[in-house]
Structure 1
Amino acid sequence: MAGSLALLPLTAACTAGEDDDAARSRPVRTAGAVVTAAPDAGVVAPAKVEVIAGPTGCKARIRVEAAELRQGVCHTEKSDYVITTFPEARFQQVWLESAAMYGGRYLVGSRWVVSAEPKTLETFRLRLGGTIEQLGGGDPAADPSAS
């Protein structure tokens, strides 16, 4: 079993005739989790806020430094956003459950989350990997920033 898991990255990397960018940004399911390659950044968990901020064009200002998470704020000409990282997956899960009561879309990676305007999330997904998730029962069509 361990041998087959070790070969997974090698077989996933060998794609014949596929567009490299499309292959790198495609989510891969392993053991129930979604793992998406970070095409430009190579972001690997546990990434630091500063590592995630780099490919987005920001030098993050850390606003929370706690045992459960680190959070940095980014201000750029195009967007303002928040990057949150977690030392353990269970802390990320609690954070996502709490954020669900506010609703909205988030870019979710392995032990990191980016909170930004929906139009910015897709650009960041291409740079960082992860998946865009709609949290809460909110209707995306009712989101005034979606239009």
Structure 2
Amino acid sequence: MRLTRPMLAAAAAALLLAGCGSGGGDDKAAAVPETASGSLEHLAAEVGCTPTIQIDADELRQASCRKSKADGKFILATFATDRGQREWINGAKDYGGHYLVGRKWVAVGETTKTVSALRATLGGDVEEGQDHSAHSGSH
């Protein structure tokens, strides 16, 4: 299956619209480990979840995951190229969300707390999508 940029953006939008809420949390005090690397399954095992595969293509593998009810649900995606990853993130950020970014992988959390918990295990850099809480209208 060949994925196009609009297909990737649409997939990201659908995932994020399910979790537009924002949450509290602050990861400044936590020590950040070296950024993890590996397959989608390896990264999921690192954080203790069983991934539910949603997209399995050459360019992108994407799964939903939940560590525990308290930690929240998140999306884990791995990419074949750095460019594909950056294009996906740039398109997805228009829809809001909280992103943990590593080398050729992204975890998208429903809340800042979820991303902070993942970062404590996977390392990576936190990026934020557009804040939709200031906008009126539907999510």
- Asked whether 1:134 is paired with 2:128, we answer yes
The alignment's C-alpha RMSD in Å is 2.1
Among residues 84, 105, 115, which one is paired with 2:108 in the alignment?
115
In 2, Cα distance between equivalents of 1:103 and 1:135: 4
Shift of 1:61: 1.4
Q: Identity across aligned pairs (percent)?
A: 34
Q: Which runs of 5+ in 1 are unaligned?
A: 1-20, 26-35
Higher-Rg member (1/2)? 1
- Aligned residue pairs total 103
Paired amino acid for 1:135? G
Query: So what's the TM-score if we normalise by structure 2?
Result: 0.66
Question: Unaligned 5+ residue runs, structure 2?
Answer: 1-29
Give matches, 1:27-42, under 5 Å. 37-38=34-35
Q: Deviations over 1:66-96 (max 9, x none)?
A: 1220001113333211100001101001101
1:55 to partner: Cα distance? 2.3
Q: Residue 77 of structure 1: which of 52, 62, 69 is its match?
A: 69
CA distance in 2, matches of 1:98, 1:90: 12
Residue type of the partner of 1:95? W
- Normalising by structure 1, we get a TM-score of 0.62
**Which consecutive segments of 4 or more residues in structure 1 shift more than 2 A?**
75-78
